[in-house]
Each structure stands twice: as structure tokens, then as C-alpha cells.
Amino acid sequence: MMEMRNRIAGSSSRILMILAALTAFCLLLTLHSLWSLLPPSAWGRALAHPDVADISELLVHYSLLPRVCTALLTGAGLSLSAVLLQAALRNPVAEPSTLGVSAGAFVALSFMTVATPAFAEGHRLVIALGGGLLAALATLALAWRRQLSAEAVLMAGLIVNLYAGALNTVLILFHGGLVRLFIWGSGSLATQDWSAVQYLLPQFFIAGAVSLLLIRPLSVLSLSDDAAVSLGLSPARMRLVAIVLAVWLAASSVSAVGIIGFVGLCAPEIVRRAGLHQIKWQLLLSPILGALLLWLADQIFQVLPLLAEIPAGASIAIIGAPLLFWYTQRVRQRGTVPELVPSFSSPSGLSLGATLWLLLAALALLALSLFVGRGLSGWNFGLSSLDATLFWRGPRLVVAVAGGALLAIAGVIVQRLLANPLASPETLGISSGSALAMILAIVLFPAAPRWMLMLAAGAGAGLVLAGLLASGFRHAFAPDRLLMIGISIATIFSAIISVLMGTGDPKMLALIGWLNGSTYMATPLDAALATALVAIAALLLPLLLRWLDILSLGGDAATSLGVPLALSRGLLLLYASLLIGASVLVTGPLTFVGLLAPHLARSLGARSAAQTLLLAAMIGAATMGFADLIGRVALVPRQLPTGLVATLIGGGFFMLRLGMRG
């Protein structure tokens, strides 16, 4: 007992030293900002009764001080939300951003801002709460089959975040005024009054008081469900209360300042690293630490002139994504990632006749996509003007089909390589690296020709690939390591894109369509290039089939069968990366096709790697072809990007299917 008390006392001393150091550093930075605006003799007056004729005093009273208070309340609320989620789910990486709660709340607010602006202005918390709860439920449903493990929650949260981002993009494409939401969505602490503080203060104190009542139940729940039941507690009811309270805190934050992630991941982990593992200490100290961390991060960027305009949420994401990777590498278990669905294959194989029927169905769907159209005068069929139909619709359809096939093939390889049916090309971060490189090229070289932009996209994919190869080589390309690297890259990419889009630069706004898989600017040269890429991919595939079949059995089994683990994984990773980079070159960073097509192929009965690749390529091509048709005819005369349509259809179907199976 004495030893335990001494250990707790030592841990308390460490965390108090950390809090004291952070507080001192934050105060110094804030005092520096104050000093740059006003002499110390005027600070008291600026705080209490600023002179309306003095701009500096008004800035201190209505901008600097409310910003500090907003950062403190937001950091505390998000950290408390994370502790509640981590305790309820017994998962150390659960927090509002990794569960998709923040993204769900944000997209709900965006939609209601468009649909009913007056209602949205007066009911922000209710709207954000509903969106956050729906997103949390979707994430938990996707990760349920893996008992809500850390890797499963991260992957499911990434999927929900991608889907929510696609919905937001649809709104922004058709409501240009919502571009300002990019800034808000990046977590802006900028304020011109005390309204955000007045809004957040009661939310935090009410939720904080309720959370104190949950200390004992959550402490018991952290041990086991059986212990909770033996003491008369209902584990399901306690989890529900904790999750609703956590979502309420996160929704309050999103409705006030936008999306700010990773604070909830950092603060509780620092408390645990200091040696305080009990729930009561995490509930009491994590909010204080989270408040100081967000205050510190915001003040650091404020005192650096070149970085002062970067939103707080984006800066935290850029800093926090490497931390996410580092942390998950520390807590992960060695070996391959367990599967999220029972098996990679169906009990019964796919017959040749069934394959031919599926091929005919895919070809019929593509023919429908080519010849069916809709104009201002109504529906039309392109048979009467075949030349015009092939000229206008042919290239975009070929590009869409090729992009879908390339991503589907890459998806099969990635899922077998990572032994994880919820993995997809996007999770490796290669398409993100390609897109970001192309965007930077447009910003730096506005008059650059198209071939130079395509070269930049290829270079971005190559740089990310090089990083993956360098990181994975020493660990035989361990699947969980690659997965965490990809999620970290995708997170950083999203943060940077939000910052660039928030600038309002017309060049950035013009890229929104391409970022979501637009094909309506495709040329015959693009179609020829896409066809050549698919042909090259098909010629190389037979050389990789044996490795794909054996590696899906696991690393130990592959080694026992004589497969060189590091070499085979490295070459497969290289091949999949080139396919993803090629698809980005011709259609932009499409999403969800590489996830959906392999899953449907297995559901239809594909067993071997060859069957799965063939069927997935057909499904990916048909999905993108059909998405191109919907993008053309759904909102005439406006057009939706093909990749965006595929995301909305395929992502929603995939989440619904996994949720029902879970």
C-alpha cells in the first residue's frame, strides 16, 4: 500500500511539473502578444473597459482574450470527451476525431446551414449532436466485428471521415458561399467577441459535473463487464451515457469553433504516461492538460508571422498525425492485423458461367452509361448521333472505367497485403501524396502545362512510396505499420487541403472537382493513356498471383511455404502504389472504389486472387461507369464529379452492409 501511495505521489509530481511548465510557457507567449499590442499599464483597462477609440485595446478585449478562453474551453472539452470515450470503449485511441464524431457534427451543421439557415443558427448544438451521434454509431458499427480494437476504430473513423468529407464537398460545389466552411472546418479559434466563450462555458461545466458522477461506474467498467454486472451496473447503459456525454462535448466544440483533432488523443495519453492510470485522475487532469496544450499550440502559431493565419485545427492535425503514428506503433501488437470480416473468401467458389454473366452485366451497364443522356430537352439516346456520342462521352467513360479498374486491382492487393478487408488504396496515403503534390504545383506554377502537373502528381506518389518503403523495409513491411503510416499521411493531407481551400484562391476552388474524381474534362489522349495503363497492369498481374494467394494466409504461413516476406510485400506494395498513382494521374484521387470492389467480389463468391482481381476490376469499372452516368444526368445542367458519386453510393452501401453484418 505504501509503495502504491509513493508511486501515485511520484506520478502526481510529474504531471504537476508538466502542467506548471505548460502554464508558464503559455503565459509567456500570451504576455508577448499583449506586449506587442499594449503597454502593461493599459492591460487592466483593456480587460475591463476598453476605450472604443483605441483599436489596440479593442483587439485585446474582443480578440486576444476571448481567443485564449475559447482555446482553454475547447481543449478541456475535447480532452474530457476523449477520456469518456476511451473509458467507455476501453480503447486508448478513441477520441472525437478518430471516431468521426467531429466530422459528422460538421457535415450536419453544413447541411442545415444550406437547408434552413435560420434554424441552423439557433439550434447549432442540437444539429451537431445529431450528426456526431450518427457518425459515432457508424464508426462503432464498422469496428464492432473487431471488438472495437485500436486499429479497427482508426480505420472505421477514417472511412466515416472520408464519407463526411464527400458530403461536405457536394454542398460546397453547389453553394459557393460555403467555401468559408473550409476555414471553420479547420478549427478556427479566431473570434471578434465573447459569444463563443459564453456558448461553451455552460456546456463544459454541465458535462464536467455529470462526468464526475461517472468516476466510480467508469472505474468499474474499465476492469471488465463482469465486474460491472456483479456490482449492479449495466455495462451497456453506462457506455451509452458516457458516449452521449462525450458526443455532446465534441458537438459543442464543433458548433463553436469547427473541427480540432488530436488534443483528445494527446492529453489523456500524457496523463497515463506520467503513471496515473486511474479513471478519476484522467477525468480530472486530462481536461486541464488539454486546455493548456491547445492554448500553447495556438499561441505558438500566433507569434510566428508566417504561420499566424493557419487555423488551429489544421496546425494541431499537422503536429498530431505523426504523434498518432508514433503512439499506435508503441501500443500495437506485432504481426499481421486481424481480419475485420470472417474470411477473405466465400465458402463456394465462382463458376465460369457466373463470371461470364457478371461480365455481360458489367458491359451492359457500361453501354447504358455511354448511350443514355439527359439534356435541357429531356432524356436522349446517343444511337442517332453515334459520332458525337463517342466524341463527347467516350473519353470520360473510358477514363472513369480505367480509373475504377486500377483502383479495384490496387484495393485487392492492399487488402491481401495488409490482411485487412477494411484497408483501401486511400489508407496507404499514396493518392493523398499525389493530389497534394499536384495542388502545390498549381499554387507555385499557375501557368504550368498539364504534363507538368501530371509529372508532379507522379512525383508526389513516388515520394510517399519511398517513405513507405524506407519505413517498412526494416520490419518486413508489417501490415499494421503501413496502415498507420497511411492514416497519418491522409490526416496531414486533409489538414493542408483545408488550409489551402480556406484561402479562397480561385485556383483552389477549381480543383474541388478534380479532387473528387471529375472526368468531364477528359480528352481522347487521356482515354488512350488510361487504356495503356490498364493494359500494362493486366500484363503484370499473372506474375504476382501466387504471392497474393499465399500472403493472405499470414506472414508465418507464407514464410513456411518459401515466400520471401520482405521482397514479396515490397514488390506488391510498389505495384499497388504505381496503380494508385496512375489512377490519380487520369482521374484524380477517387475514393471508396478500391474498398468496395474487392469486398463485393468476395461477397459474390470469388476465392482465389485471380478470381478476386478479375471480378473486382469488373465491379470497379462498372461502378465508375455508372457513377459517370449519374454525375451527368442527376442535376442537369450541372455535373457531379464521378468519384464523388461513387463515394456517396459505394461508401454508404459499404457502411450499411458492414453495420448490418456486425
Cis, peptide link before residue 637, omega less than 30° from 0: yes
| Beta strands in 319-478, from DSSP E residues, in sequence order | 372-375, 378-381
Instruction: List the beta bridge partners of residue 96.
Output: none
If asked whether residues 436 and 290 sit together in one domain, one would say no
Give the Cα separation of 47 and 58 in Å (integer).
9
Task: Provide the pLDDT for residue 346.
Answer: 41
Q: CB-side exposure of 170: number of CA atoms within 13 Å?
A: 20
pLDDT (tens digit, 9 = 90+) per residue, 211-222?
989 888 888 887
Q: Flag whether 213 is in a domain.
A: yes
Report residue 332's pLDDT band, with 50, 70 and 90 as the boundaries.
Answer: very low
Coil, helix or strand for 380? Answer: strand
pLDDT (tens digit, 9 = 90+) per residue, 554-573?
777 777 877 887 788 888 87
Question: To the nearest whole percent, how much of the chain has pLDDT over 90?
Answer: 10
Give the Cα separation of 1 and 405 in Å (integer).
63
Q: Flag whether 549 is in a domain.
A: yes
Which residue is it, cell 467507455?
A: 88
Q: Flag whether 527 is in a domain.
A: yes
Report residue 318's pLDDT band, with 50, 70 and 90 as the boundaries.
Answer: low
CATH number at residue 656: 1.10.3470.10
Domain final residue, candidates 278, 296, 331:
331
Instruction: List the beta bridge partners of residue 375.
Output: 378
Give the Cα separation of 57 and 46 in Å (integer).
5
H or E, element range at 374: strand 372-375
Q: Is the per-residue pLDDT at 546 higher than 80?
A: yes
Q: Flag whether 393 is in a domain.
A: no
Round the CA-based radius of gyration of the chain to a whole number and report it: 26
Domain count, the chain: 2
If asked whether residues 403 and 312 sit together in one domain, one would say no
If asked whether residues 308 and 430 sit together in one domain, one would say no
Kindly state the cell numbers that stand for 222: 474499465
Coil, helix or strand for 375? Answer: strand
Q: Flag whether 369 is in a domain.
A: no
Q: CB-side exposure of 385: number of CA atoms within 13 Å?
A: 9
Domain final residue, candidates 294, 312, 331:
331
Q: Flag whether 71 is in a domain.
A: yes
Q: Flag whether 614 is in a domain.
A: yes
User: How many C-beta neighbours within 10 Å does residue 396 have?
Assistant: 26
Give the Cα separation of 338 and 480 in Å (integer).
10
pLDDT (tens digit, 9 = 90+) per residue, 605-662?
887 888 889 899 999 999 889 888 888 888 777 778 887 888 777 777 766 665 555 4
- Alpha-helical segments (H) within 175-311: 181-185, 195-213, 215-223, 225-230, 235-257, 263-273, 279-303
Mean pLDDT of 485-507: 65
Which residue is it, cell 494521374?
A: 585
Top pLDDT among 332 and 428 is at: 428
657 in Cβ contact with 396 (< 8 Å): no
Give the Cα separation of 296 and 557 in Å (integer).
49
Which residue is it, cell 432524356?
A: 379
If asked whether residues 320 and 457 sit together in one domain, one would say no
pLDDT (tens digit, 9 = 90+) per residue, 260-292?
877 887 888 888 878 887 888 899 999 999 999
CB neighbour list of residue 115: distance below 8 Å, 6 or more residues apart = none
Task: Provide the pLDDT for residue 340.
Answer: 37
Coil, helix or strand for 373? Answer: strand
379 in Cβ contact with 510 (< 8 Å): no
If asked whether residues 24 and 173 sit together in one domain, one would say yes
Task: Provide the pLDDT for residue 469.
Answer: 65
455 in Cβ contact with 553 (< 8 Å): no
Domain final residue, candidates 331, 365, 384:
331
How far is residue 22 CA from its own chain's centroid? Answer: 29
If asked whether residues 325 and 410 sit together in one domain, one would say no
Coil, helix or strand for 234? Answer: coil
If asked whether residues 201 and 85 sit together in one domain, one would say yes
If asked whether residues 408 and 276 sit together in one domain, one would say no
H or E, element range at 115: helix 101-115
Which residue is it, cell 507538368?
A: 452
Query: The domain containing residue 558 runs over which residues?
Result: 398-478+511-661
Q: Flag whether 352 is in a domain.
A: no
DSSP letter at 194 equals: S
If asked whether residues 620 and 543 sit together in one domain, one would say yes
Indicate the residue type of 249.
L
